[in-house]
A = this chain, B = another copy of it.
Amino acid sequence: MTDDNTVYVGNKKDAMSYVMAVTTQFNKGSEEVVLKARGGAISRAVDTAEITKNRFLQNLEILDITTEMEELENEDGSNSNVSAISITLGESN
């Protein structure tokens, strides 16, 4: 992870694990944390953002949500498209 304030959300852990990762980043002093996910993990990224701001850090809000279509290369050299989301959390003004 090059960006300390980015949390990559996957399918292997439950949302609460990512909520803890986000909370830790804010507690270390980050002003914004970006959740990133692709494909089926997009739903978990939204869960993570909503649980974090509703239950743990109620001074937070979602500052920005963007989506895009990413092209991934398969093992056989062909390409697949997969949707991706970025959710930026930060303190509300």
Contact = CB atoms under 8 A, between A and B. Distances in A.
Interface stretch (A16-24, A25-33, A40-48, A72-80): A40-48
Can you tell how many copies of this chain the complex includes?
2
Interface residues of A, number: 20
Q: Tell me the interface secondary structure of chain A in the complex.
A: helix
Nearest to A49: B67
Interface in A36-83: 39-43, 46-47, 49-51, 54, 62, 65-69, 83
Contact of A67 (B62, B66, B68, B69): B62
Nearest to A87: B67
Interface of A: 39-43, 46-47, 49-51, 54, 62, 65-69, 83, 85, 87
